[in-house]
Structure 1
């Protein structure tokens, strides 16, 4: 992390539990960059778990869905605490900007592609992943032009991950009546549609700010 400029706004940073966890992390030798790197591990585990839904059944499918949802949330917690450890605890390093941004791209791809495989629609997962990377690119491109970072949705990172988590838990609950893959596919369509709108909004904003 490089500071608070263009930092994603998160109300969870102001919660007591987040501050308490940050203080505990600051007492260890764990660095913000290591937390950022671990977010990719959590994302890969989430993607593998969601992909396993395609060939698992019964209790195994439910377990895979719940583990996948939990790993998505662990990825988001890593994204929260790497920044808090770097900025609030003053533990940021010179390569913080790299570790703050780069791990998010393979993390998004791993989760969304895995979700597409679990839904039995790999292409849909890839479409969601490509759009997620493009949405992030538009934000970073705007910043490279000296513009303020645009974190708007309707399908920014936190919204995508919320949709994945809700879909995973919902598919587990509805599994006796609805095929889990169908629930995951619906969620992917929502992510694709929302990401398309988000890309159009951010792209127009970058363009208009240049005028």
Structure 2
């Protein structure tokens, strides 16, 4: 869902990316700043109950995840290091967001919501791991209902509107759906990789006389 939107936003932010490069700022620095900002927005605001403010802070710094890619392309520095750093730091940001939601919902005595947020964190971490592990064994695992960006966007929208006064049950339901989507995607990727690898490891059929 976000692939097309990401491409549009990237084109809009290209001038900013080139300006930052001219200032001597590296794509890696932007990646790190974006992650730190998202972590601060989650732990400093959402965990303390300032849902809308936290959503706005995180959304702002999520744009850095688009800018760093545009900067790397403009500088001709796109490569495995940038992809590795971006992927690892995304796990920090995701952990902060869903960890903060878990903490907030526990403080509200909303145990189902806290369980769903924790499930989003756990299952959501399995999804990229399945892809990385698949690639390490020569397979691919890019299938799934919702990618990381989609899940994060949906979670932030639900968090933000609850911060504006929408009943908290909306956030609980959304987190439950996201947990299910994450679980489904992880299982889908496991099955997809099995279909690629398993036939190559089957023993040849025994010959009968």
Assess same fold via TM > 0.5.
yes
Larger radius of gyration: 2
Task: State the distance in 2 between where 1:149 and 1:39 align.
Answer: 26
Query: Is 2:99–2:121's contact at 8 Å kept on the other side of the alignment?
Result: yes
Q: After TM superposition, which residue ranges in structure 1, 4 or more long, deviate above 6 angstroms?
A: none
Query: Is 1:83–1:100's contact at 8 Å kept on the other side of the alignment?
Result: no
Aligned length: 189
Superposed CA offset, 1:115-150 (max 9, x none): 122222444322211111101101111221233451
Query: Is 1:40–1:106's contact at 8 Å kept on the other side of the alignment?
Result: yes
Match of 2:205 in 1: none
Greater percentage in helix:
2
Unaligned runs of 5+ in 2: 200-209
Greater RCO, 1 or 2 (C-alpha within 8 Å, sep 6+)? 1
Query: Is 2:94–2:121's contact at 8 Å kept on the other side of the alignment?
Result: yes
Superposed CA offset, 1:13-32 (max 9, x none): 34541222222222222111
- With structure 1 as the length reference, what TM-score do the two structures score? 0.78
- Greater displacement, 82-91 / 135-144: 82-91
**Partner-residue secondary structure (3-state), 1:103:** helix
* Structure 1 vs Structure 2 CA RMSD: 2.3
- With structure 2 as the length reference, what TM-score do the two structures score? 0.79
**Partner-residue secondary structure (3-state), 1:146:** coil
2:55 to 50, 69, 73: 69
Establish whether residue 124 from structure 1 lines up as the match of residue 116 from structure 2: yes
